[in-house]
Chain A
Amino acid sequence: DAKTTQPPSMDCAEGRAANLPCNHSTISGNEYVYWYRQIHSQGPQYIIHGLKNNETNEMASLIITEDRKSSTLILPHATLRDTAVYYCIVRASYGGSQGNLIFGKGTKLSVKP
């Protein structure tokens, strides 16, 4: 079973920031938080990942709480092309797992004009 909990759907106005929450209360010390998204009829696309510190790249920012039990993916200026299902995944960096990703149902983000 997925180790994360996400709202099933969210709406966002075009040009506004989209803030997608994720709960991962059972995360272990060696587990990273990953975000992928899947646009309709395409394969999942990597967005960002982090361990403890907040991370930012050209696509998004990842804010992880100090206790690491939850995180928020921020798309600073959402566009219609950001409409997709967003998956929050926790994954160990070593040991045990072979590294396969365990997806939940994700959050369907709809960006509206």
Chain B
Amino acid sequence: GAGVSQSPRYKVAKRGQDVALRCDPISGHVSLFWYQQALGQGPEFLTYFQNEAQLDKSGLPSDRFFAERPEGSVSTLKIQRTQQEDSAVYLCASSPVGAFSTDTQYFGPGTRLTVL
């Protein structure tokens, strides 16, 4: 079956531009996570959705970062006024049920964002 997909795979933005990154989770998956991975580092948690509810956004680095999942399926991570330090790979993961479990998280391939 189809896995988690993300688009675009690569994005180049000029400093100050707004960007929107899309995640299509596995159909029917309740939980959705966004992670940020800087070069040479492990992924770091950004935010978590259970269906359409954003239950945890403690990892978002600034108020320029905004995520939504309005119908409980597709999610969009938006970054306003991009800065060079936002350059990273943004990973999306989904899991079948709520986070209070030992569910496996299934990751997408990521979007590599480069801010010039």
Contact = CB atoms under 8 A, between A and B. Distances in A.
B4 interface: yes
Contact of B42 (A32, A42, A105): A105
B4 A103 contact: no
Contacts of A105: 40-42
A41 B112 CA distance: 9
B102 to A, nearest CB: 5
| Most interface-central of B4, B100, B103, B109 (chain A CB within 10 A) | B100
Name B's interface SS: loop
A99 B104 contact: no
A107 B109 CA distance: 20
Contacts of A94: 100-101
A49 interface: yes
Interface residues of B, number: 30
A102 B102 CA distance: 14
Nearest to B40: A105
Interface string A13-43: 0000000000000000000100000000111
B81 to A, nearest CB: 26
Interface string A42-84: 1111100100000000000000000000000000000000000
Nearest to A44: B107
Range class of the A interface residue count: 20 to 34
Contacts of A98: 48, 55-56, 99-100
A86 to B, nearest CB: 11
Interface of A: 2, 32, 41-46, 49, 85, 87, 91, 93-95, 97-106
Interface of B: 4, 31, 33, 35, 40-45, 48, 55-56, 59, 91, 93, 95, 98-110
